[in-house]
């Protein structure tokens, strides 16, 4: 019987650092890269056999009567962690979104370069993921694309505290409000997907914002330098899924 991680264990899976080279370790490159994730551990089998995997190329789009996402964030970013795969910003309790009438609390946000999702074949240089969980451990993730442009002041505050070595964490002197990294226009694409890192568990509500944010080329390059290159899983087949647009 295949093992599927759900509930609270799923929240832990998106939080724990797993470094390449150790037992079950994964990476974005080489023999521990995305094409091999499903073979590294039994718990990662969905990376190999899952039919509703993320990220995707957002191109099979149907207009729908989706309600606006209620976003209630307050300044709660407390520490910056380099977990060996990304730069993750941990968040205090009290900030949340409401999706399908369900409250999902913001747990953390993190980054990928280049973007994991594509939009009609276009890949952005950077993407942020805001990870939320309801009281039962079900996940909802907001994805935001970033284009190259002006220096982003919120990213700059985080980058000034960026730990440059895996396993390091730095406490922020002043709390940051994650809402400052969201676009003002809140139209979005929605589909059912998975975690984009092992164990690739499915049943994740994905909300990808239509409007992109921007950051400077230097900010993007600093992240890529610290992380040692690309930090994105290739897009996965949509299969029978459609993407709904608000």
Q: According to DSSP H, which parts of 31-85 are helical?
A: 37-40, 46-49
**Interatomic CA distance for residues 223 and 126, integer angstroms:** 10
Among 237, 236, 190, residue whose Cα is nearest residue 209: 190
Burial profile 41-75: b = 16 or more Cβ within 10 angstroms, e = fewer: bebbbbbeebebbbbbbbeeeeeeebeebebebeb
Query: To which residue do tokens 């003002």 refer?
Result: 184
Q: Which of 32, 85, 117, 129 is catalytic?
A: 85
- Please tell me the distance from the alpha carbon of residue 58 to that of residue 158, in angstroms, as a whole number: 29
Mark whether 165 is an active-site residue: no
Which positions are annotated as active-site residues? 85
């Amino acid at each position: 019987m295949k093992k599927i991680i759900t509930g609270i264990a799923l929240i832990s899976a998106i939080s724990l650092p797993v470094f390449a080279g150790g037992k079950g370790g994964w990476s974005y490159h080489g023999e521990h890269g995305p094409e091999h994730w499903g073979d590294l551990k039994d718990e990662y089998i969905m990376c190999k056999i899952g039919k509703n995997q993320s990220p995707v190329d957002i191109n099979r789009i149907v207009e729908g009567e989706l309600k606006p996402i209620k976003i209630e964030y307050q300044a709660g970013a407390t520490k910056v962690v380099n977990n060996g795969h990304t730069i993750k910003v941990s968040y205090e309790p009290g900030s949340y979104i409401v999706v399908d009438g369900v409250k999902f609390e913001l747990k953390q946000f993190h980054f990928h370069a280049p973007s994991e999702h594509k939009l009609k074949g276009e890949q952005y240089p950077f993407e942020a993921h805001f990870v939320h969980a309801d009281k039962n451990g079900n996940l909802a993730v907001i994805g935001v694309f970033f284009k190259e442009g002006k220096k982003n002041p919120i990213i700059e505050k985080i980058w000034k505290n960026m730990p440059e070595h895996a396993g390091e964490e730095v406490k922020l002197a002043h709390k940051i409000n994650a809402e400052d990294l969201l676009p003002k226009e809140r139209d979005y694409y929605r589909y059912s997907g998975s975690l984009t890192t092992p164990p690739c568990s499915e049943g994740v509500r994905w909300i990808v914002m239509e409007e992109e944010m921007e950051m400077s080329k230097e900010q993007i390059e600093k992240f890529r330098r610290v992380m040692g290159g690309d930090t994105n899983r290739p897009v996965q087949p949509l299969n029978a899924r459609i993407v709904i647009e608000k």
